[in-house]
Chains A and B, each alone.
Chain A
Amino acid sequence: MAGRLRIAAQAGAVAVVAALLGLLVWKVATSAKSNVKSALRAGKHPNAPDFRLSRLEGSTKVSLASLRGRAVVINFWASWCGPCKQEAPALEAAWRKHRRRGLVVLGVDYNDVRGYARRFVRKNHMTYPIAYDRGGKVLGRYGVSQVPETFFVTRKGKLLHDYFAGAINTADDRARFERNINRALSS
């Protein structure tokens, strides 16, 4: 009787360890899959992960899927981020210049006090749509670890290989930004 109990306890312990290992493997596999940056670094053009977020202003929602057929610049930012302020004029200028050609600049504000973010938008004269990513859930799916970061989505919903990890600041950055926009609009 005691022997059987011991075997059952050992089998239970092995089962618990196996379950925990399985959980670890599943977690590692799913997090690697959901992060598109590793695919971009490998030179692939993955589909831009879809998301549906509420807008910073008002109560309506904005989804990436609803913008299919247009090229999209997705810019992750926050009002506490200094470099985000520096690049805001370049994003606004691109929105004004290319929107008639089918470009949408979509700001995704994350980890931010809504009121402060709204003030930032007004202060920097940003007129393009801004989504609010509470808790940074979309940010994680794009593999963004710091703001600002900017991705380019083609009309077919694919991500361009080139993206900005940091602000669009210098003349070279701005030229590269413009090239990527034209590439997203034409593919």
Chain B
Amino acid sequence: MKGRVALSLSLLLALLLAGPTAASEQHPTLPELEGELICPTCKTTLDQSEAPVANQIRRFVRQRIAAGDTKSEIKTKLVGFYGPEVLAAPPKHGFDLLAWLLPFGGLAAGLVAASALAWRWSRSRGDPPPPGGRLALEPALERRLDEELRRFDG
């Protein structure tokens, strides 16, 4: 029952998010693209820049939006003029895909390492005490301890 509710909620959330994403791809706005593009000379996002080149990019984006280009088409054209550095986020293909995948890889590796450590820790603490309540010692150490105790008693 709980599983079904979780699945339904996930699907609902996906549907809610998919609508605006598709709309933004088909009908992008300048303010939205300004946050996703980098001014090539000042290295900040377009919405933070008043540099001449940033104004040129704004002008180009306005023209392309008016011409009916999608967000991807506008970005592809801009990459053609300014190189991939004009994008605030790296593209999700080729070598740049690594930038998207590595954080998740790091997170997964961290989870595995933390789980392994937790498992080891819980095992070492959960070991039952040896019979008689005495901890097992290495034979050499035990012999030495016996000798010391004999000498002490004697």
Contacts and interface: CB of A to CB of B under 8 A. Distances in A.
Given A111-B41, A113-B60, A146-B41, A135 B83 contact: yes
B52 A113 contact: no
A130 B53 CA distance: 19
A111 B55 contact: no
A80 interface: yes
B121 to A, nearest CB: 13
Which DSSP category, helix, strand, loop or mixed, fits chain B's interface? helix
Contacts of A82: 52
Interface residues on B, range: 10 to 19
Interface string B49-72: 000110110001000000000000
Nearest to B52: A80
Given A136-B40, A146-B41, A114 B53 contact: no
Interface string A127-155: 00000001111000000001000000000
B81 A114 contact: yes
User: Which among B55, B56, B80 has the highest number of chain A CB atoms within 10 Å?
Assistant: B56
Interface residues of A, number: 15
A71 interface: no
A115 B135 CA distance: 83
Nearest to A79: B56
B81 A134 contact: yes
A42 B60 CA distance: 41
B85 interface: yes
B104 interface: no
A51 interface: no
A81 interface: yes
A116 interface: yes
B82 interface: yes
A16 B127 CA distance: 36
A77 B80 CA distance: 18
Contacts of A112: 56, 81
User: Which among A78, A79, A80, A137 has the highest number of chain B CB atoms within 10 Å?
Assistant: A80
Contacts of B55: 80
B7 to A, nearest CB: 40
Given A111-B40, A113-B60, A135 B82 contact: yes
A76 to B, nearest CB: 12
Interface of B: 40-41, 52-53, 55-56, 60, 80-85
Interface of A: 78-82, 111-114, 116, 134-137, 146
22 contacts: A78-B53, A79-B56, A80-B52, A80-B55, A80-B56, A81-B52, A111-B41, A113-B60, A113-B81, A114-B81, A116-B56, A116-B60, A134-B80, A134-B82, A134-B83, A135-B82, A135-B83, A135-B84, A135-B85, A136-B40, A136-B83, A146-B41
